[in-house]
Amino acid sequence: MSGYDFDFFVIGAGSGGTRASRIAAAHGAKVGVAEERHLGGTCVNVGCVPKKLFTYAAHFAEDFEDAEGFGWTVGPRRHAWPALIANKNREISRLNGIYERLIAGPGAEIFDSRATFLDNHTLDVGGRRITADKILIAVGGRPFVPDFDGREHVITSDGAFFLPDLPERIVVVGGGYIAVEFAGIFNGLGAQVTQIYRGNPFLRGFDDDVREFLAGEMVKKGVDLRFDADVRRVVRRSGGGFSVDLKDGGTVETDLVMYATGRVPNTGGLGLDAAGVATGRGGAVTVDAGWRTNIDNIYAIGDVTDRIQLTPVAIQEGHALADSLFNPSGKTVGYEFVPSAVFSQPEIGTVGYTEAEARAKFGALDIYRSEFRPMKHTLSGRDERGLMKLVVVRETQRVVGLHVVGPGAGEMTQGFAVAIVMGATKRDFDATIGIHPTAAEELVTMREPIPDPVPLAAE
């Protein structure tokens, strides 16, 4: 023992903190974990998990319609939002219990309270003074809403997961992951959705073809996309609902306004100053390659470091950190080819570089791109298309980017990501036999690069 109450104290039992604490405890460290809200953090409680459940719920609307082309007669349909919320809440409670067992199982002690730094080895944990040799900050992030007139009238994704009813008209502001996912969810569940984004098109940072393509598909599904639009103010109407006044003079009448304009590190009230921990842009805790802050015994992982805000990244970081501190194995986290999915409707799967990023980094490229109609829609009659794109470095033939829009894009991309992390070339893709009939076979059967790649938008 180190002479401290704990060898390792973790602040925040989200995805990253939970993994770090249970791995450290399994390596024999005496571990404490403080969580002031629910175990599992953002992902389990107000993020990935309930969002994916909502996405399934929304997709049934199209599934019922599509079934008719296959001979089914589907009767009247009605969606009960309160039932979805109640069932989702039950599942989340079950997961909270699993997280408790995951942490306590290997012997870590859970404190259901806030932890605040008193100095670099001492914390106030719910009024109790606790010392620790090493401390991990894994407090995640929280939604950010910019300042404007009527800000108090809007909700964020945190509130969206607990709405008592689904309003008829919803405005979603933002153009990132959360905004496009919720626009698809609310639209699928029957609300009339307007998505307002300040740029054009949305999903900055994604491949340009993917951005344009998804926008086109969402419009077909009935989402009113307003690009190059910025909110001036939100006014509550005396007869109910809100007016969203835009800077260009337009107005959108709605029953609910949801902001999804990014997330910021959750460091407020943590007492970082008392420990001397330095923060950078937007209050993110600054760390080195080994997740160490400027203070020798204090570490930070996940969203609070504001690098890649993805649960699996935080989990890998937590695991690698716990190993490096208590059972060094040399395990690292690769940040170059991080796959991710946007559970928009239709879905996006992506791994590696966008065409623009790859051109800037590697020079000449071969671009393979294919647009297709998913087989299911030959009978369903639905006017939905898919997109697949490979970004290949011309000189080495290495595939450095893979982008998919369409049903199952996330599942598909997870598998292909292994090959891409391993350095697969286009020849490896060509040598792989397709599975027929699948959509994914398209990725191993694209023969000819586009002669002079022109972004889809320009065609």
- Phi, psi angles (nearest 5°) of residue 442: -55, -35
For residue 107, the one-letter residue type is: G
Element (H, E) at 430: helix 426-430
- Report the alpha-carbon distance of residue 166 to residue 83 in Å, rounded: 11
CB 49 → ligand NDP: shortest distance, Å?
11
Q: What is the contact surface with ligand NDP in residues (CB under 6 A)?
A: 146, 174-179, 181, 197-199, 202, 204, 260-263, 309-310, 340-343
Which of residues 131 and 414 has its CB atom nearest to ligand NDP in the complex? 414
Which of residues 125 and 179 has its CB atom nearest to ligand NDP in the complex? 179
CB 257 → ligand NDP: shortest distance, Å?
12
Which of residues 175 and 386 has its CB atom nearest to ligand NDP in the complex? 175
Q: Nearest-CB residue to ligand NDP?
A: 176
Residue 269 and residue 116 in contact, taking contact as beta carbons nearer than 8 Å: yes
CB 263 → ligand NDP: shortest distance, Å?
4
| Angle at alpha carbon of residue 56, lines to 52 and 61, rounded to 5° | 145
| Angle at alpha carbon of residue 124, lines to 317 and 300, rounded to 5° | 15
Judging by beta carbons within 10 Å of its beta carbon (0-12, 13-18, 19+), is residue 431 exposed, middle or buried? Answer: exposed
Cβ neighbours of residue 130 under 8 Å, at least 6 residues apart? 5, 6, 9, 32, 111, 115, 122, 123, 124
Coil/strand/helix, residue 341: strand
Q: Has 436 been annotated as catalytic?
A: yes
Which of residues 50 and 453 has its CB atom nearest to ligand NDP in the complex? 50
CB 416 → ligand NDP: shortest distance, Å?
17
Cβ neighbours of residue 459 under 8 Å, at least 6 residues apart? none
CB 67 → ligand NDP: shortest distance, Å?
27
Judging by beta carbons within 10 Å of its beta carbon (0-12, 13-18, 19+), is residue 81 exposed, middle or buried? Answer: middle
Q: Which among 38, 79, 121, 436 is annotated as catalytic?
A: 436
Residue 157 and residue 31 in contact, taking contact as beta carbons nearer than 8 Å: no
CB 361 → ligand NDP: shortest distance, Å?
21
Which of residues 130 and 179 has its CB atom nearest to ligand NDP in the complex? 179
Which of residues 325 and 348 has its CB atom nearest to ligand NDP in the complex? 348
CB 413 → ligand NDP: shortest distance, Å?
11
Give, rounded to a whole angstrom, the gap between the first and last alpha carbons of the chain: 66
- Report the alpha-carbon distance of residue 101 to residue 21 in Å, rounded: 12
Residue reference for tokens 């698809």? 184
Which of residues 258 and 393 has its CB atom nearest to ligand NDP in the complex? 258
Residues marked as catalytic: 436
